[in-house]
Chain A
């Protein structure tokens, strides 16, 4: 039953070109465009007369991919993902199509299928972000003459890339589940997007205040309380080159906290949707 709803949602999303582009393709494409612009600026600057001829470090493709995947912590990037998450649910209210689909599958399945579809879209988008950033770094290395490193280390690079991907994806899933809950409550995408983004922005302010007073690593209560903090802690550790195994206690707990937030928001969204009267969607 959930598989049926998931298949239907995937087909639906595949045909929704606007949602597909703005929600999942725009960010990787713009990221690539920025990367190429950076390359052009570098080339133009170095050719200028009087260039001191500084030496530049070679591009690290694996690091470029890891860093690109953590761009999902930026509010403007999150905005596009939340437009997709909210749009997946809000379209059924806007076009009053719940009456067509709710007699065909359970409400829990219908909503979870939307979250799963968002999960697939977000995962693809993050991976595309990584691939395009490597392409950008490759082009940059060739055009500027800086070259690139390809000393891929399974122990560090794969863990860092996998960790970056998982952190970004889990954080987006938590945000998407919150956005979907807000769509169900308000029957509209705009308050849901503003609500989800706003809540994450507020967390950034709180994180800033909490971390200012810390001398050592944050405790469980610090990051478990805020999903954005869990993601921030993980990203910082991954990008600083401190592999997760160096902080064995922090690694699984931060992931667990993020996963619990995602599951909690999703459960609330399903609960609210199951109790909702669909008089006029």
Chain B
């Protein structure tokens, strides 16, 4: 399996703040890989180290087999780091021209990429008047300009309207599925990550706390919510698999065990008025891993 990005015991401290704490992570080539975590988890610091913007305090990061910051490897990737910023006096087209020249790109297809991110009409307007969403689109075009093998996107849809989010989400999937680009995506929007990513890693306080495919991770965090009466009798039947939640119980069980469990409750004289699966999404995983009350 070839590796797009690898971190081995990477640590980074800024004064007294430990942004990354001996982080080890391997991101394979192919597909869309999500990196999740609360604010300060170290997502952007990891990206900055990989891109050579920041040097790690300890450990080593590698990009496409080369040391972090290696310019030959960097020219095979595209990246959007944090809120995109541009020189305000340049037009979108000139911005891409300048960036293409910096990369040594001799024949950049600027119009094609402007069209693909929906900026054709704004191509000759200065970036000064761009909304955050338009800057995100321009940053995406800049990242894709040199036909990279790997694209690193840090919150690529922040500031975008719902239609824009859908467009970019479709573009990300298209890049991975049609163009064979490896997309590494950091986002706070768990729903977006779940829809677009194949694998995810959860970071918390600079450490890797969980890694796996989206389907594996979400399956573990499904709960069966049963509205029952009486609750204590239901809890006695379910034992340590369940806990009370008002007039309901939450049971941590596999889907295949659900029919037998419901039969056992009915047999014990428990009335069941509603049964439904809850959780089963990255939000549930995120909350259980980080103890956060929200994803932001």
Contacts and interface: CB of A to CB of B under 8 A. Distances in A.
Given A4-B101, A8-B98, A279 B54 contact: yes
Interface stretch (B78-86, B163-171, B249-257): B78-86
Given A4-B103, A5-B102, A15-B89, A98 B94 contact: no
B68 to A, nearest CB: 11
A101 B85 contact: no
Interface size class of A (residues with CB under 8 A): 20 to 34
A4 B86 CA distance: 19
Interface stretch (A44-52, A102-110, A258-266): A102-110
Interface residues of B, number: 31
Interface stretch (A89-97, A140-148, A231-239): A89-97
Contacts of A1: 71, 104
B89 to A, nearest CB: 6
A103 B85 contact: no
Interface string B136-160: 0001001000000000000000000
Interface in B26-52: 48, 51-52
Interface in A79-121: 91, 95-106, 110
B102 A105 contact: yes
Nearest to B47: A99
Contacts of A91: 87
B90 interface: yes
Nearest to B84: A100
A42 B87 CA distance: 47
A99 B53 CA distance: 7
A12 B99 contact: no
A75 B84 CA distance: 38
Contacts of A18: 89
Contacts of B99: 8, 100-101, 104
A11 B97 contact: yes
Given A15-B90, A15-B94, A277-B53, A4 B48 contact: no
B87 to A, nearest CB: 6
30 contacts: A4-B101, A4-B102, A5-B102, A8-B101, A11-B94, A11-B97, A11-B101, A12-B90, A15-B90, A15-B94, A16-B89, A18-B89, A95-B88, A96-B85, A97-B86, A98-B53, A99-B51, A100-B84, A100-B85, A100-B142, A102-B53, A103-B52, A104-B99, A105-B71, A105-B103, A110-B102, A277-B55, A278-B48, A279-B48, A279-B54
Interface of B: 14, 48, 51-55, 71, 74-75, 77, 79, 81-82, 84-90, 94, 97-99, 101-104, 139, 142
Given A1-B71, A103-B53, A104-B75, 14 more contacts: A1-B104, A4-B101, A15-B89, A95-B87, A96-B85, A97-B86, A99-B82, A100-B99, A100-B139, A102-B53, A104-B74, A104-B102, A104-B103, A278-B54
